[in-house]
């Protein structure tokens, strides 16, 4: 089905945008952890994007994306009122959420958006949620205000120290874990190195840790195997077995290599696209 863009907000100009889409059938079924696959135009590729929020009452879903390739660059050229021709979902297994006490949700970069939906789910299930979010600098920090609405605390780490702890999210996470209250689960969504670093912080402490893997996907319904990853020595498909897995069992090195499979072509295409757009834009 297609979906109309109701609102578009550039969170970080030219880099990260948030869109609210009218997609009632998806909104009705979407749970934290789910994602969609979309195509921007008739010659477009299928790309997965996490559902950052869903509202069945208004029939809307929210997506947040970082401009990384031609497709996200093209998506970012769309405006309110435009229609995305193909939006498919919700996909993937929802996050396992139950009432368990204290949960820490760690988000980095655009991953904060995906983490937002999961944190909200944990909050609605009666958990006390601590959000730990990071960015290079204060201006690039996402969802701080939104998370503050229901999180017991929001810890911030910035590389330049312009807000919160100067350093990485793992520094802020370690700080939170060192002082209690005791944490039942840590959830981390963000770049692979960040998720891997979070896993190494919690591993010695024996805290259950869940990561949402942003693998390459084509169909997103368990047909192609592009998203396969190794978890606990076994081949799993992130699109139907995941996208969430036990962080302490994921083979991050393999994941990192596989994510780079098409980088050469993608980078060249993005450059070409940017040039084309600049020329067209005069």
Partner 1 sequence: MAAKKKIASRIAMPLQNPAERVRNFREVALGYSLEQAQAEAARCLQCKKPACRAGCPVEIDIAGFIASLAKGDVAGAYAVLREYNSLPAVCGRVCPQETQCEGACILGRKGQPVAIGRLERFVADNFHALSACELLTGAIACPQPLEGARVACIGAGPSSLTVAGYLAARGVKVEVYEALHELGGVLVYGIPEFRLPKSVVKREIDALRTLGVEFHTNWVGGNTFTIRELFVWGFNAVFVGVGAGLPRFLGIPGEGLVGVFSANEYLTRANLGRAYAFPTYSTPIFPAREAVVVGGGNVAMDAARTALRLGAERVTVVYRRTRGEMPARREEIEHAEEEGVRFEFLANPLELMGDEKGRLTGLRLERQALGEPDASGRRSPAPTGECFDIPAQMAIMAVGARANKVLLEATPDLSLNRWGYITVDGTTGETSIPNVYAGGDIVTGSATVISAMGAGRRAAKEIARRLGIAEGG
Annotated binding-site members? 224, 227, 239
State yes or no: residue 63 binds partner 1 (CB under 8 A): no
State yes or no: residue 78 binds partner 1 (CB under 8 A): no
Nearer to partner 1, 45 or 55 (CB): 45
Nearer to partner 1, 101 or 277 (CB): 277
In the block, tokens 């009218």 appear at 22
Sign of CA dihedral 225, 252, 160, 142: positive
Is residue 87 within 8 A of residue 38, CB to CB? The reply is yes
Using only C-alpha atoms, what is the Rg of the chain?
18
Q: Which residues ranging from 13 to 32 are in contact with partner 1 (CB under 8 A)?
A: 25-26, 29
Q: Residue 36: phi, psi to the nearest 5?
A: -120, 165
Q: Which residues ranging from 210 to 249 are in contact with partner 1 (CB under 8 A)?
A: 218-219, 221-226, 228-230, 235, 237, 240
State yes or no: residue 75 binds partner 1 (CB under 8 A): no
State yes or no: residue 265 binds partner 1 (CB under 8 A): yes
Q: Which residues ranging from 85 to 104 are in contact with partner 1 (CB under 8 A)?
A: 85-91
Sheet holding 208-212, edge to edge: 165-166, 153-158, 128-135, 102-108, 185-189, 208-212, 244-246
Whole-angstrom Cα distance, residue 228 to residue 242? 10
Nearer to partner 1, 125 or 226 (CB): 226
Q: Is 243 left (phi over 0), alpha (psi -120 to 50) or beta?
A: alpha
State yes or no: residue 251 binds partner 1 (CB under 8 A): yes
Helix (H) or strand (E) holding 55: strand 47-55
Interface residue list for partner 1 (CB under 8 A): 1, 25-26, 29, 39, 43-46, 70-71, 85-91, 218-219, 221-226, 228-230, 235, 237, 240, 251, 253-254, 257-258, 260-262, 265-266, 269, 272
């Amino acid at each position: 089905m297609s979906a109309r863009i109701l609102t578009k907000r550039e969170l970080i100009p030219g880099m990260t945008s948030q869109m609210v889409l009218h997609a009632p059938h998806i909104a009705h079924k979407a749970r934290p952890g789910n994602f969609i696959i979309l195509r921007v135009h008739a010659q477009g590729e299928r790309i997965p994007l996490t559902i950052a929020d869903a509202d069945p009452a208004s029939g809307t879903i929210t997506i947040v994306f970082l401009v990384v390739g031609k497709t996200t660059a093209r998506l970012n050229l769309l405006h309110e009122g435009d229609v995305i021709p193909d939006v498919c979902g919700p996909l993937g297994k929802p996050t396992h959420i139950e009432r368990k006490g204290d949960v820490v949700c760690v988000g980095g970069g655009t991953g904060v958006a995906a983490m937002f939906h999961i944190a909200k789910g944990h909050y609605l299930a009666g958990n006390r949620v601590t959000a730990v979010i990071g960015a290079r600098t204060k201006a690039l920090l996402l969802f701080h205000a939104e998370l503050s609405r229901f999180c017991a605390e929001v810890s911030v780490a910035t590389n330049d120290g312009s807000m919160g702890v100067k350093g990485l999210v793992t520094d802020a996470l370690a700080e939170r874990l060192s002082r209690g209250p005791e944490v039942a689960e840590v959830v981390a969504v963000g770049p692979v190195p960040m998720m891997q670093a979070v896993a190494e912080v919690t591993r010695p402490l024996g805290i259950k840790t869940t990561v949402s893997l942003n693998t390459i996907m084509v169909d997103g319904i368990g047909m192609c195997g592009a998203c396969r990853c190794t978890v606990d020595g076994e081949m799993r498909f992130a699109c139907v077995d995941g996208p969430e897995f036990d962080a302490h069992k994921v083979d991050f090195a393999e994941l990192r290599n596989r994510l780079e499979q098409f980088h050469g072509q993608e980078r060249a295409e993005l450059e070409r696209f940017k040039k084309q757009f600049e020329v067209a834009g005069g």
